[in-house]
Structure 1
């Protein structure tokens, strides 16, 4: 095939085998990157993912300056009955649906909980029975926490995961275990 003397030079390069090879390589690379992105999404959405925690509500368990933690999402999805008192959970805020919060579970369905033992938000004698399918949550630093004292019992369907481990800062790295054996 002969080229017309006025045809652009890049057109002949495009038709060469090297351009074909580059296109195949680029296509395969894009496909691998797409597969990787899908795998990362599936793992972070359904198994677990790293997250940063900020805010004073979980002091002293979690610092308010952005610690890096690992969320366990798989066990919450597969075994929701294993959620128990004392677990630190990641959940969707009942008041601000786009916001994710981190709190400790203090009451399970059927438990009777004191709304505000300090008497700051409610009379200290007010008690609530946690309804079926709900939990009572609280921040470890109650003075700086918006929790079930304000929300009331929270639907278990809002729970997205459980805190598994703190990985940053390294000197504070730890695996979170449920400290509650019984609460009076």
Structure 2
């Protein structure tokens, strides 16, 4: 683009900060528009792809996404230092271009927000999303205020395994997303004994008390040996057997006396499953807690 005939200084600090905040903006500021556009596309779109790759490859979710974010952050700061270096090299004699105007900068920021927002929305919809726990219905595994990761690439709208914690659309109000544990698959007969123990296909799931925990805490074990902690608070009513229809799953909250789940609204259509909850990432003291 043509020069305006005017000169001005370029601030290395501004170039650095602008690149950190909006990838490419610092390079537009120092007269490298092609590189700025390349950075805009790379760091607005490719970063989201980096988050998807670990999910696609089956890498442990938290560590895989953490590595991808570190790589992206390192790349961003390297480019920010490059923008500062270019600004310093220009000194006070930088020839202003027609794009070195507030309107062009604002347009670049808007384009970055749109591209980043679309890429982020696609990643959250089809591959990886984070959720928070608003209540204690999944205690002790998920505590109120926990933030956790849900993967969708291989799990969305597919039949999960018994014991999986899934995110799904609430059948009575699909605008809400619920998180519960799967205890029954299509064709299963699910009942509950008076002490709250699950009886699936006529087999009572084994339980053992949690050591050092409250008397209401138990470790429940699925038929294939998967174990997780639950809370069973009195009173717990026995429930007659429910046969799970085809293309549905039966879900229960881990806090059995507090949860609103399939015992109340019935089996959940597989088509409403959004993904599988993997692990807690916040607060830090619970980072990596599996679900």
- d(CA) in 2 for partners of 1:37, 1:53: 24
Q: Which has the larger displacement, 23-32 or 157-166? A: 23-32
Contact 2:158 2:273 in 1 (8 A): no
Q: What secondary structure, in the 3-state scheme, does the structure 1 residue paired with 2:116 have?
A: helix
Q: What secondary structure, in the 3-state scheme, does the structure 1 residue paired with 2:257 have?
A: helix
- d(CA) in 2 for partners of 1:175, 1:80: 24
- d(CA) in 1 for partners of 2:250, 2:187: 10
**Structure 1 runs, 4 residues or longer, greater than 4 Å off:** 17-20, 119-123
2:131 to 27, 51, 75: 51
- d(CA) in 2 for partners of 1:42, 1:94: 23
Show CA shifts across 1:14-58 (max 9, x none). xxx866542444333322221111111111111111211121210
Q: What secondary structure, in the 3-state scheme, does the structure 2 residue paired with 1:144 have?
A: coil
Q: What secondary structure, in the 3-state scheme, does the structure 1 residue paired with 2:275 have?
A: strand
Show CA shifts across 1:45-100 (max 9, x none). 11111211121210101112x111111121213x824x111000011111222211
* Residue 166 (structure 2) aligns with: 89
* Residue 8 (structure 1) aligns with: none
**Structure 2: which 5+ residue stretches go unaligned?**
1-95, 197-234
Q: What secondary structure, in the 3-state scheme, does the structure 2 residue paired with 1:62 have?
A: coil
- d(CA) in 2 for partners of 1:104, 1:95: 18
Show CA shifts across 1:132-172 (max 9, x none). 10000000111001111111111111111110110011111
Q: What secondary structure, in the 3-state scheme, does the structure 2 residue paired with 1:102 have?
A: strand
* Residue 158 (structure 2) aligns with: 80
**Is 1:157 matched with 2:234?**
no
**Is 1:28 matched with 2:108?**
yes
Contact 1:104 1:140 in 2 (8 A): yes
* Residue 39 (structure 1) aligns with: 119
- d(CA) in 2 for partners of 1:171, 1:123: 37
Contact 1:121 1:149 in 2 (8 A): no
**Is 1:117 matched with 2:193?**
yes
Q: Which has the larger displacement, 140-149 or 33-42? A: 33-42
**Structure 1: which 5+ residue stretches go unaligned?**
1-16, 178-184
Q: What secondary structure, in the 3-state scheme, does the structure 1 residue paired with 2:173 have?
A: coil
* Residue 69 (structure 1) aligns with: 148
CA pair 145-164 structure 1, distance change in 2 beyond 3 A: same
- d(CA) in 1 for partners of 2:257, 2:141: 14
Show CA shifts across 1:101-143 (max 9, x none). 11000000011110x433868654x112111100000001110
TM-score (norm 2): 0.49
| Matched positions, count | 156
